[in-house]
Amino acid sequence: MGRPKELIDDKLIAAARAELRQYAGQRVYLRLLAVVKAGDYSLVEVASFCEVSRETIWRWIKKFQQGGVEALFDRPKGHNPSKLQERHRRQIARWLERGRNRRGQPTHWTLLKLQQEIAGQFGVEISLMPLWRQLRQMGFRQKVPRPLHSGADPVRQDAFKKNG
């Protein structure tokens, strides 16, 4: 299948070729190169060289024609905003540092307990993994105490410790 000559003309190829030198080593370089080579080769050959589909090459050409080199850059990927606001994070940090819940009771915090406390206090439902990530960003790390063996003699255990 031939390429439509009205879309890929010498002016478009010259513009892409002029931009090409600026972006060597970047992802957009491959896209600009594909636009340039589409002037000399079929879209199937260019797609094969770039290891993408013919439709992708076609889309890159149309993007360059409509918006220039800026249209060929990847747009920033969005992410879901945090469910916890800054005031929530400050309160959670106070809970963790003091080892007490919102009612002032001593608490050994687990993610599940913290998740329930957040839901009760702020009305925010947050799953465990995003909560764990938030805590890591806040500078908190999980600490697990050494296991105590039931039935062990504490005197012999203390004598066995290297630093005891």
Q: Which of 74-83, 84-93, 130-139, 142-151 has the lowest mean pLDDT?
A: 142-151
Please give the DSSP secondary-structure letter assigned to residue 148.
P
- Looking at residue 27, its amino acid is R
What number is the average pLDDT over the span 116-140? 92
- Looking at residue 56, its amino acid is T
- The answer to pTM > 0.75 is no
Find tokens 């009305």 and name the residue: 123
Give the pLDDT score at 23: 75
In this predicted structure, the answer to whether residue 142 has a pLDDT above a threshold of 80 is no
Q: Specify the long-range contacts of residues 155-161, CB closer than 8 Å, at least 24 apart.
A: none
Q: What is the pLDDT of residues 70-127, one digit of tens each?
A: 898 888 777 788 899 999 999 999 999 998 888 888 888 889 999 999 999 999 999 9
| pLDDT cut 90: percent of the chain above it | 37
CA nearest neighbour of 137 among 98, 76, 82, 94: 82
Give the pLDDT score at 50: 86
Spatial contact of 84 and 118, defined as CB atoms under 8 Å apart: yes
Element (H, E) at 26: none
The per-residue pLDDT of the chain, averaged, comes to: 85
Give the pLDDT score at 90: 93
Residues whose CB is less than 8 angstroms from the CB of residue 20 and which lie 6 or more positions away in sequence, other chains included: 29, 32, 33, 36
Q: Tell me the three state secondary structure of residue 13.
A: helix
Spatial contact of 28 and 48, defined as CB atoms under 8 Å apart: no
Measured between alpha carbons, how far is 19 from 39 in angstroms, rounded to an integer? 15
